[in-house]
């Protein structure tokens, strides 16, 4: 497995692969890899000849009071896991390379970037779309795999790819959970044992919404009020949002008959967690 730290070197490696007729499957990550990330890596490997995984804690997507400096950085262990998965290239550039002095160009998806997490984390999605656009230019992937865990991110990136005619297929991989239902996240490492238990309320809430939906309820208002009362049963959860929305436009839907996304974000202590569930058409 090759670890590439230099942008030019990555571009040369991608060009060489494409000249040989090899397809490239790409997974952008911020490292601190867990099974959720590895499930994306496996998808990239089945969809393409060569897997490129980026590890880059992107300063542009963190707010001034967020956890950028604290974010777990475990490059050596990450590379060992990726090597065991049979990955060909890890691309791990420095912030100075990605954002040299004077870099002022950004990619911003208007109308979507201020919804859900974008509402609570101003500038977050602008940071995500800018870095992913840059990574796509550098890696030149045929396909890129993202997790359904970050459902709003998927909507924003789909729109970016469509609007800017990027020649890359987006593949969305399902949420990987712990045995007790907690969605895997690099930020779970911040939770105390007590908070980790409290955080199970997110998945429990989504399960209740799913059960109500399965029993025939389609009114978003009713589903939302079930969810809010379940969430309120865990006073340690500081709710950021619970929304029932269209997964592409992120706009609220009154009825879930055409399918919908139930998305939740809450903090446990200072750790903000997200989770979601796709409700099928009824
Ligand atoms: P991150 O390192 O947090 O930027 O995540 C990198 C990619 O992994 C994103 O596309 C996430 O949606 C995805 N991901 C994170 N956690 C999970 C999970 N529990 N299941 C599936 N994908 C995930």
Q: Cα 182 to chain center, whole Å?
A: 15
pLDDT confidence tier of residue 71, bands split at 50, 70 and 90: very high
Cα separation, 115 vs 174, whole angstroms: 21
pTM of the predicted structure, to 2 decimals? 0.98
Closest-CA residue to 6 (of 98, 136, 101): 98
pLDDT confidence tier of residue 165, bands split at 50, 70 and 90: very high
Residue 210 corresponds to which tokens in the numbers above? 């799913």
CA of 243 to the centre of ligand 1 (A): 20
Q: Kindly report, residue by residue over 95-134, the tens digit of the pLDDT.
A: 999 999 999 999 999 999 999 999 999 999 999 999 999 9
Q: Kindly report, residue by residue over 183-204, the tens digit of the pLDDT.
A: 999 999 999 999 999 999 999 9
Residues with CB under 6 A from ligand 1: 29-30, 36-37, 39-40, 146-147, 149-150, 173, 175-176, 183-186
Q: What is the pLDDT of residue 236?
A: 98
Q: What is the pLDDT of residue 123?
A: 98
Confidence check: pLDDT of 282 > 90: no
Q: What is the DSSP letter of 280?
A: P
CA of 147 to the centre of ligand 1 (A): 5
Among residues of the chain, what percentage have pLDDT more than 90? 100
Cβ count within 10 A of residue 261:
23
CA of 222 to the centre of ligand 1 (A): 30
Contact 241, 120 (CB under 8 A): yes
Q: Kindly report, residue by residue over 4-29, the tens digit of the pLDDT.
A: 999 999 999 999 999 999 999 999 99
**For all residues of the chain together, what is the average pLDDT?**
98
Cα separation, 80 vs 118, whole angstroms: 33
Cα separation, 279 vs 110, whole angstroms: 26
- The mean per-residue pLDDT over the stretch 51-68 comes to 98
Q: Kindly report, residue by residue over 216-247, the tens digit of the pLDDT.
A: 999 999 999 999 999 999 999 999 999 999 99
- The mean per-residue pLDDT over the stretch 64-91 comes to 98
């Amino acid at each position: 497995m090759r670890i590439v730290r230099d942008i030019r070197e990555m571009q040369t490696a991608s060009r060489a692969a494409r000249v040989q007729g090899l397809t490239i499957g790409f997974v952008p990550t911020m490292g601190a890899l867990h099974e959720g990330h590895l499930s994306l890596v496996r998808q990239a490997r089945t969809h393409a000849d060569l897997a490129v995984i980026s590890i880059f804690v992107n300063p542009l997507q963190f707010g001034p009071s967020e956890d950028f400096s604290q974010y777990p950085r475990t490059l050596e262990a990450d590379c060992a896991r990726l090597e065991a998965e049979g990955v060909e290239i890890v691309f791990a550039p420095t912030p100075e390379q990605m954002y040299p002095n004077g870099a002022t160009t950004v990619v911003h998806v208007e109308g979507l970037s201020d919804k859900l997490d974008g509402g609570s984390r101003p500038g977050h999605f602008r940071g995500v779309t800018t870095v992913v656009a840059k990574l796509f230019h550098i890696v030149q992937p045929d396909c890129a795999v993202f997790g359904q865990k970050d459902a709003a991110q998927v909507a924003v990136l789909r729109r970016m790819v469509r609007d800017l005619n990027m020649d890359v297929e987006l593949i969305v991989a399902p949420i990987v959970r712990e045995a007790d239902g907690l969605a895997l996240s690099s930020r779970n490492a911040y939770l105390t044992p007590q908070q980790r238990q409290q955080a199970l309320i997110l998945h429990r809430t989504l399960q209740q919404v799913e059960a109500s939906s399965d029993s025939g309820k389609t009114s978003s208002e009713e589903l939302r009020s079930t969810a809010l009362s379940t969430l309120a049963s865990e006073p340690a959860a500081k709710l950021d949002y619970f929304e029932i929305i269209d997964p592409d436009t992120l706009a609220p839907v009154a009825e879930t008959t055409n399918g919908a996304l139930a998305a939740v974000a809450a903090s446990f202590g200072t750790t903000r967690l997200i989770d979601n569930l796709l409700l099928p058409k009824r």
